[in-house]
Structure 1
Amino acid sequence: MSKPEEDEVFFAYIVVAPHAVSLVLIRLNDGVQRPVYYVSKSLPKVKVRYLPLENVILAVVHVTRKLPHYFQAHTVVVLTQLHLQSLIHKADYTGRIAKWSIILGPSISRSEVGLVMISPKGIVIEKSLRLSFSATNNEAEYEALLVGMTIVPKMEGKVLEVFSDSRLVVGQVEGELEARDLRMQEFLS
Structure 2
Amino acid sequence: MEKLVYALILVVRKLRPYFQAHRIEVRTAYPLRHILHKPESSGRMLKWAVELGQFDLEYFPRTAIKGQALADFILEFDAEVDDKAIVLAEPTSQGSSHDEKRQELPHPWWILHVDGAVNNNGSGAGIVLVTPEGHSLMSAIHFKFYATNNDVEYEALINGLKLALEVGAMNLIVRSDSELVVNQVNGGFQARGPRMKLYMRCAQRLLKKILSTRLESAPREENSNADALAEMGSQMDNVQLGQIPLGIQEIPSIPEVEVF
TM-score, normalised with respect to structure 2: 0.31
Whichever structure has more strand as a proportion of its residues is 1
TM-score, normalised with respect to structure 1: 0.42
Say which structure, 1 or 2, has more relative contact order (CA 8 Å, 6+ apart).
Answer: 2
